[in-house]
Amino acid sequence: MPFDQYPTYLGTDLGMNWSVDKTIFKLWSPAAQAVKLRLYSNGSTGKAIQTIDLQKKDNGVWEATLSGNQKGKYYTVQVQQGGKWLAETPDAYAKAVGLNGKRGMILDLTETNPTGWATDKRPIQKQFTDIILYELHIRDLSINPNSGIKNAGKFLGLTETGTKNTKGLSTGLDHIKALGVTHVHLLPAFDYRHTSVDESKLDQPQYNWGYDPEHYNVPEGSYSTNPSDGAVRIHEFKQAIKTLHENGIRVVMDVVYNHTGATEGSVFNQTVPGYYYRQNADGSYSNASGCGNETASERTMVRKYIIESMKYWAQEYHIDGFRVDLMGIHDIETMNQASAALHAIDPTIYIYGEGWTAGSSPLPDSLRATKANTFKLNQVAAFSDDLRDALKGSVFNHTEKGFINGRTGLEESIKFGITASVQHPQVDYSKVNYSKAPWAKEPYQTITYAECHDNHTLWDRLTLSCPDASEEDRIKMQKLAMTIVLTSQGVPFLHAGMEMLRTKNGVENSFNSPDEINRFDWDRKTKYLAFNDYVRQLIQLRKNHPAFRMPTADMIRRNIKFLETKDPNLIVYQIGLRANNDNWTRIVVIYNGNTEEKFVTLPKGGTYNIVLDGTQIVETGIKTLISPKVGVPGMSAMILVE
Ligand code: CA
């Protein structure tokens, strides 16, 4: 039977449904001939203590009811199809698993709640454009001994306060809180494959980013203090989320529904062979993920699965946002339905994704949630590679320079970034590097960034593209890039550690590099404390001044005016007057990407105070200008206030 003729089941009770007097299992597998459920007393070893044949019901559902309290037992399902028994796996809807995700676990989820969970609240957020994202790998934060964090590499490492580096400066949660970001965006925290990190060998150093999903509705075991007990990782992840919330920080999960880590052996393929994936005309798996397969979000039960999973994290774990990996693989309709479902739970949940794929897909471009189609997405944002690469050069050409180190011709791309990819009359779209038209309806739909976990850190990139530049000059370049990111409209995104000039020693995609490459070096905070303090002040400047985070495209068009300059690589614009109810009347922002000083004549008006001069930020004014002409040093920004 073709996949689109499979009967569908619209109930929300697929998987394990525990209650004190019975547990009901429901598995959707329309082409199965038989399904067995096995119970175990342990999550990874020992023989089955009971084997049950599931009964076929309507709509492709198989079901069994086990009487009595089954709490604490582990289980697998096994499907017979085409006369062949497939592998034993947990079901795709599993909410808890044992060691390395081999078996599902029956549990009472309320028992995994930390104390006070019922009153846990999402920190206040008025507008999406108030968000400042901080992208963090759980292990990187705390695995270095110089973090001073006891629960090294664990969810609980995010909950420790009072931790210090070897020179006594704050690390971990205290550091993030002092920096002032509003959201911590966690690299994959769902359960990923044992082939990347073996949960039975946590005494040995292992590392992975985690972009190889195994169980979508379960936290990763290696981040827990005991991956063998399926309840522990759930409790500890909730504890981390609750602690971040108590400290005023929201939590975003990186979700990877676009592919599964395994292909033939995946839970999806062992329960409903082929259905969850797109195929090429010859029947082979298509591979827009570059990882061997891509899921088929346009199919009813795949779409339903993705939406229910996101809702589950938002409701059960109080997750505040989702970063959708390779969102361009998913269809627009799925993303819009997910957005509607999540915003019905809480309208402040923030959803954004990578508006591209890592290969070609059989799904037509017009249906896919790519960056160019962002205007068809409802309350979903996309990453701006336009601004990212305009700042530093293409990520695919490691020695190419960008605006911050003197390459000309990128001015319109930077302006495109400043105006958050919304339509603005003064941007010449024919000269924007990648997008020849605005793609965001509203500014919150654009994620503004210079660096993320992929590719080189900006600091390493500057070493590659400017081998002859002094460290002092490279610091100026990074400062300029971060100033542009944090003063542009849209939603700024920082890769954790940028504030201390993070290096991975030149390693580009460090997804399985050792801790020594990936971990934070907290002593860099001491070494580059002035830089860290500048970034903290930049974040404060953005938070204090709504002019830098206008909520609507109309407001941006009305209030941002670019001024003529005679020099290339020099961008001057004013924001005014009292844009977005700012207490500053007129703000003039200057970005000088040239190596030498440039002079700018300010708009006629009153007197101007310099509040940001490339080395420091003083909101009450560093100095007052007497002449309307101001010199802006090379590779630096300046902000003046009338
Ligand atoms: Ca795992």
Tens of pLDDT, residue by residue over 584-594, are 999 999 999 99
Q: Is residue 58 part of a domain?
A: yes
List 135, 140, 354, 385, catalytic entry = 354
- Using alpha carbons, select from 58, 10, 31 the residue that is nearest to residue 275: 31
Can you give the pLDDT at residue 5? Answer: 95
CA of 208 to the centre of ligand 1 (A): 10
pLDDT at 1 over 90: no
Question: Residue 435 pLDDT > 80, yes or no?
Answer: yes
Residue 568 lies in a domain: yes
Beta strand segments in 419-523, E? 446-448, 491-495
> Residue 518 — very low, low, confident or very high, per pLDDT cuts 50/70/90?
very high
Q: Which position among 140, 294, 325, 412 bears the catalytic label? A: 325
Cis amide prior to 577 (ω within 30 degrees): yes
Q: Tell me, what's the pLDDT at 127?
A: 97
Residue 442 near residue 554, CB atoms below 8 Å: no
Last residue of a domain, one of 77, 97, 112: 112
**What CATH number is given to the structural domain containing 602?**
2.60.40.1180
Please report which confidence band the pLDDT of residue 224 belongs to, taking 50, 70 and 90 as the band edges: very high
Task: Kindly give, in sequence order, each residue whose CB lies less than 8 Å from that of residue 204, ignoring residues fewer than 6 positions away.
Answer: none
User: Residue 499: is its pLDDT beyond 80?
Assistant: yes
Average pLDDT value for residue range 75-87:
98
Structural domain count, the chain: 2
Distance (angstroms) between ligand 1 centre and the Cα of 507 equals: 24
**Residue 122: inside a domain, yes or no?**
no
- Ligand 1 centroid–CA 212 distance in Å is 9
Quick one: average pLDDT of 484-497?
98
10, part of any domain: yes
At 383-431, the pLDDT tens digits run: 999 999 999 999 999 999 999 999 999 999 999 999 999 999 999 999 9
Domain boundary among 66, 93, 112: 112
Ligand 1 centroid vs 189 CA: distance in angstroms?
Answer: 9
Provide the residue range defining the domain that includes 565.
558-641
Instruction: Tell me how far the alpha carbon of residue 202 lies from the centroid of ligand 1, in angstroms.
Output: 11
Q: How many angstroms does the Cα of residue 514 sit away from the middle of ligand 1?
A: 17
Distance of CA 625 to the CA centre of its chain: 42
pLDDT of residue 627: 86
**Residue 606: pLDDT above 90?**
no
Residue 637 lies in a domain: yes
Is 325 labeled as catalytic in the residue annotation?
yes
Cα 92 to middle of ligand 1, angstroms: 14
Residue 13 banded pLDDT, cuts 50, 70, 90: very high
What pLDDT, on the 0 to 100 scale, is given for residue 626?
86
> In terms of DSSP bridges, do strands 623-624 and 609-612 run parallel, antiparallel, or are they unpaired?
antiparallel
Query: Tokens 């930077």 map to which residue?
Result: 414
Residue 614 confidence class, pLDDT cut points 50, 70, 90: confident
What mean pLDDT comes out for the span 553-567? 96
| Domain assignment present for 604 | yes
What are the beta bridge partners of residue 610? 623, 640
Count of alpha carbons within 13 angstroms of residue 355, beta-carbon side: 28
- The answer to whether residues 181 and 158 touch, using CB atoms and an 8 Å cutoff, is no
pLDDT over threshold 80, residue 605? no
How far apart are the CA of 200 and the centre of ligand 1, in A?
Answer: 10
Q: Which of 58, 77, 112 is the last residue of a domain?
A: 112
- Ligand 1 centroid to Cα of residue 505, in Å, is 27
SS3 172: helix
Is 591 inside any structural domain? yes
Residue 97's CATH number: 2.60.40.10
| Average pLDDT along the chain | 97
Contact at 8 Å (CB) between 612 and 639?
yes
Residue 8 has pLDDT above 90, yes or no: yes
Does residue 362 belong to any structural domain of this protein? no
CA distance 369 to 377: 7
Task: Give the global pTM.
Answer: 0.98
Give the pLDDT of residue 91.
96
Residues in a beta bridge with 639: 589, 612
